[in-house]
Amino acid sequence: MVRIKNPDEIRGMVKSHPMDQRRVFSIAAHIDHGKTTTSDYLLRRAGLMSDHDAGTKLMTDSDEEEQERGITIFTSVVLLSYEHQGKDYLFEINDTPGHISFTGEVSRALRGSDGAIILVDALEGLMTQTITNIQLSVGSEMCKPVLFINKVDRLISELKLPASKVFEKVDTIITQVNEQIKKFAPPEFKKKWQVSFAKNSVAIGSAKDGWAFTLEILKEAGHTNPDVVFQKYEEDDRQWLRDNLHLEDALLRMVINHLPNPADAQKYKIPHIWSGDIDSPEGQALVNCDPNGPLLGMITKVFIDPKSKRPTLIGRIFSGTIRSGMDIELIGQRKKVPIKRLGVMEITDILDCDEIPAGNLFAMFGFIAPSGESFREPGTNYAGFEEISYAAEPVVSRAIEAVDPQDLAKLGDVVSKWIMADPTATFRHDKESNKYVLSGIDPLQIEILTKRINEQIKININEPIIVYRERINQTGSVVHAKSPNGHNRLKLYIEPLDDKAAALIKSGAINMDQGDKVRAGILRDKAGWDAKFARKIWALEGQNMIIDGSSGVQRMDRIKQYVIQIFRDFTYSASVAKEPTLGLKVVITDATIHTDPAHTGFSEILGMTTAAMNISFLTANPHIYEPILSVDIKTPKEYMGAVMGLISQHRGRVENTVDEGEQVRVVGVLPTAETLGDFADKIRSATSGRSFWGYQFKAFEQMPASMEVETIIEIRSRKGLTAEVPSPENWSRFVYKRQ
C-alpha cells in the first residue's frame, strides 16, 4: 500500500534508502490518453490527494495554462513511498506531456529515468506520439517499459463491446507495442523488454473510474478471468472496482517487479548516453551509480515558476553526491555556479535536502542553465553526457518585438531564459527588422512561449509562418574572394554534407564539446571520413559545418572567430530567401591575412566571407525544402475515402492503410504549411467528429517545382526583399582576380 511519509522520512530515504528499493521512471503517452488522471491515483494515498479528488483534480497539471487547456505542458516530478511485501519502495516519477509540441519534455524526462510506463488509450490504440514515446524510451534513452492500457471502460460502456472483442482489442495493442519495442530497442533488449499480460508487465484498467489489474492482482482478488469487470459495469458498481482493484497497486507492482533500480539501469544506460572512457574511475563510478564517486549529473528540466518567474533546475545525479552550498561546473557553458538551495521536487514545491546522492532526481536553485546541460565538480575534466536527441524540429516561427523599443535588450534576456527551459524551440535576433524570431515545433508551442514572454514584457506578436530550409544538391564553385580593402583573401567552396555526418550531428554523437581527435574518430568510423581532415572542423551550427582545409596559412587564428560568426549567420539566412540552411559543408582551402591587425577588422572579413559563401552556394543548385509531417488518422471505415481525399487535397499522400476492426488507420504525410489553416476542422467535419489523429515531424522535402518560385517570392516579399533572387554577380566586386 501507499503510506504517508513525513518530510524527514523522505529526506532519509533520498539519502540512504537501499538501491534495490528505488525506482525512477516516467509516465508517457499520446495526448488525452490519461497520464495525469493516472498520476492522481499514485498520489491519493500518499496524503497528497483525497480519494474523492483522485482522477478529477489532475494535480500534476499545476500550471494555469495546463488547467485551462486540459493538457499537460510541463513535466511534473512526484516522490512517492510504497510498501510491498514488507518493504518500503521510493518512487521518483515524471508525469510527461503527450502533445507533440512538448515532446522535448518527454525526451528530457526519460534521460533522467530508468524505466517508463507506456500508457495507451484502449479505444484509440497506438497513436503517433505513443510510437514516438516508445522510440524515445527504449531506443534513445534506454528506459525499460511496462504497459498500462487505460480507458477500457470506454470499450465496455460506450461501444458496448462483448468481452471477446475487448480482449481482442487489448491483445492487438499489446502486439503493436511489442512490435515497436522490437523495432527500436537495442538488439540485446528486443526480447527482454517485451511486455506481457501473462508475465504481469501489462496492466488493464480505467483511470477515470479508478481501477486496474494485472493477472497477479486479478487472481489475488479471487478471480481467474476479467469477467468480473464486465459484471460490475453491468451492475453500475464502479465503486467495487475502485475498492478492490486499486489502480496504483497494479501500476506500482509492475514498476517494482519489472523496472530496474538506478544501479542496475546505469550499467547499460551510461555507455549509451556518455561518451567517456567506461574503464576510467569516473566511468566505473557512473556505471555503478556510486554515491562516493566523482560528481556527474545532468539538468533535465528548467521549471520556471509561473508567478515569480524564478527558475528551478531539475535533473538526475548519476555519480557522486551533490550538496547544498557547493559550487558545480556547467560543462557546456564552461562556468562555475553556486547552489543556493537543494532538494527534491514534489510537483511545484521543493523539499529541502542538504545532500542528494547518485540514483536520485534533484531540484536546485540559484542560477539558470539550459535543459540538457551536464555538470561536474569544478577543477575536473571528465566528459559530460551526450546531447539529448529530440523527435521534432522547429519548423514554425513567429516574429516578436517589444512594445517599448527600449525593452529590446530585456526582451532578449527573457526569451533566452524560456529557450533554456525548452531547447526544442530556438530564437534569433533579426538585425534588419530588429525583431526576435521564435521558431518551434508547431503553433501551440510558440503560442505558449509567447504568452509566457508577454507576462514578463509586453510584446507584439506576428502571425505564425512556416520555416523552410535552403539546401544545395551539388558542390558549388571554388570562390577566391578579397576584402573591401584588398589586403585579405579567402578561398572556399560549399558542398552538401553527407547524410551520415548530418545524422551524427543531429543525434549529438558529434559536437563541439568533444576533443578534435574524439570527434574525428567518430566521423572516421561511422561516416567514412578521413580522420586528418575531420580534425579541422571549426564549428557546427544546426546540421551544417565549416572546416579549415587550408595548410600553412599564417595568422589564420586572427580571423577564425569572425569567419565562424559569419558562417553561423549564413546558416540562419542563406542566399535564396534568407531561410536557414540544411546540410552544408563549408570548406576553406586557402587564405591570405594581412600582417597589420588594423587591416583585418570584422568589416573587412565580413565582406569577403559573405561574398564567397553566397557565390558558392548559388552555384550549387540550391532549392527550397519544406517541413513534412507524418500523420496518423484513425477513423470508422465508412469515412476512409473522405480522409484519404482530404490528405490528397492538401498536397499530402497516403502511405499505408491498416484494418483495425471497426476502424481503419490511415498513415500518410502532409506538408506542415497545410496544417496551419483549418485542416483539423475539416477532418472532424468529414468524419462527424469520430476520428482520432496525431502528427509528428518527419523530414524536409524539396518544394514541388510548380510551387517553388511562388514560395520564394512570397518569403522574400514578407521579409521586405526584392522578388528577384540574387545571382553570383551581386558579389562580383569581392572576387579576387590575379593581376
pLDDT reported for residue 51: 41
Q: What are 356-375's pLDDT values in tens digits?
A: 999 999 999 889 999 899 99
pLDDT reported for residue 348: 64
Distance between CA 477 and CA 487 in Å, rounded? 22
pLDDT reported for residue 57: 43
Instruction: CATH number of the domain at 689, please.
Output: 3.30.70.240
In a domain, 66, yes or no: yes
Domain that holds residue 678: 624-703
Instruction: CATH number of the domain at 510, please.
Output: 3.30.230.10
74 and 101 share one domain: yes
Mean pLDDT for the chain?
A: 88
Mean pLDDT of the 313-323 span: 95
Q: Are strands 459-461 and 396-402 parallel, antiparallel or unpaired?
A: antiparallel
Percent of the chain topping pLDDT 90: 60
118 and 226 share one domain: yes
184 and 65 share one domain: yes
Instruction: CATH number of the domain at 157, please.
Output: 3.40.50.300
Closest residue by Cα to residue 390 from 70, 102, 22, 80: 102
Distance between CA 145 and CA 27 in Å, rounded? 10
Distance between CA 665 and CA 692 in Å, rounded? 9
pLDDT reported for residue 35: 76
Total structural domains within the chain? 5
pLDDT reported for residue 553: 94
Q: Are strands 311-319 and 321-323 parallel, antiparallel or unpaired?
A: unpaired
Provide the 8-state DSSP code for 703: P
Triad 363, 366, 369: Cα angle to 5°: 75
Which of 390-399, 450-459, 491-500, 602-611 bottoms out in mean pLDDT, i.e. has the lowest? 390-399
155 and 259 share one domain: yes
More confident residue, 59 or 130: 130
Radius of gyration of the chain (CA): 27
Closest residue by Cα to residue 167 from 149, 179, 144, 181: 149
More confident residue, 114 or 630: 114
pLDDT reported for residue 69: 32
284 and 229 share one domain: no
Q: What are 387-399's pLDDT values in tens digits?
A: 887 766 778 888 8
DSSP-H helix ranges across 594-639: 602-618
210 and 338 share one domain: no
pLDDT reported for residue 60: 39
pLDDT reported for residue 219: 93
In a domain, 718, yes or no: no
Distances in whole angstroms, Cα of residue 25 to Cα of each of 259, 501, 616: 8, 33, 50
pLDDT reported for residue 114: 97
CA distance between the termini of the chain: 87
Single out the residue in 406, 438, 466 at which a domain terminates: 466
Instruction: CATH number of the domain at 360, please.
Output: 2.40.30.10
In a domain, 591, yes or no: yes
- Which contiguous run of DSSP H or E holds residue 302? strand 296-304
Q: Is the pLDDT of residue 47 over 80?
A: no
pLDDT reported for residue 662: 77
Distance between CA 243 and CA 259 in Å, rounded? 26
In a domain, 517, yes or no: yes
Residue environment code for 585-594, b if the CB has 16+ CB neighbours within 10 A, otherwise e: bbbbbebbbb
In a domain, 714, yes or no: no
Q: Is the pLDDT of residue 55 over 80?
A: no
Mean pLDDT of the 704-729 span: 94
Give the three cell numbers for residue 67: 488547467
Query: How many CB atoms are located within 10 Å of the residue 383 CB?
Result: 20
Q: Is the pLDDT of residue 640 over 90?
A: yes
pLDDT reported for residue 581: 96
57 and 80 share one domain: yes
Provide the 8-state DSSP code for 92: E
634 and 604 share one domain: no
Closest residue by Cα to residue 137 from 184, 91, 97: 184
Query: How many CB atoms are located within 10 Å of the residue 557 CB?
Result: 9
Instruction: CATH number of the domain at 459, please.
Output: 3.30.70.870
Sequence letter at residue 641: G
Distance between CA 644 and CA 220 in Å, rounded? 48
Which of 100-109, 190-199, 421-430, 610-619 bottoms out in mean pLDDT, i.e. has the lowest? 100-109
Distance between CA 712 and CA 577 in Å, rounded? 6
Q: What are 600-623's pLDDT values in tens digits?
A: 999 999 999 999 999 999 999 999
Single out the residue in 623, 656, 686 at which a domain terminates: 623
Residues 6+ apart with CB under 8 A from 225: 218
Judge residue 141's burial from the number of C-beta atoms within 10 Å of its C-beta, 0-12 exposed, 13-18 middle, 19 or more buried. Answer: buried
615 and 628 share one domain: no
Distances in whole angstroms, Cα of residue 727 to Cα of each of 194, 431, 450, 482, 732: 57, 23, 37, 18, 9
Residue 110 CA, distance from chain mean position: 10
In a domain, 592, yes or no: yes
440 and 346 share one domain: no
pLDDT reported for residue 23: 96
Mean pLDDT of the 116-126 span: 92
Judge residue 398's burial from the number of C-beta atoms within 10 Å of its C-beta, 0-12 exposed, 13-18 middle, 19 or more buried. Answer: buried
Global confidence as pTM: 0.79
287 and 198 share one domain: no
Q: What are 247-276's pLDDT values in tens digits?
A: 989 999 999 999 999 999 999 999 999 988
Which of 169-173, 219-223, 442-446, 587-591 bottoms out in mean pLDDT, i.e. has the lowest? 442-446
Percent of the chain topping pLDDT 70: 92
In a domain, 108, yes or no: yes
pLDDT reported for residue 196: 97
Query: 373 near 299, Cβ under 8 Å?
Result: yes
pLDDT reported for residue 76: 53
In a domain, 729, yes or no: no
Q: What are 196-216's pLDDT values in tens digits?
A: 999 999 999 999 999 999 999
59 and 23 share one domain: yes
Provide the 8-state DSSP code for 47: T
Single out the residue in 466, 496, 517 at which a domain terminates: 466
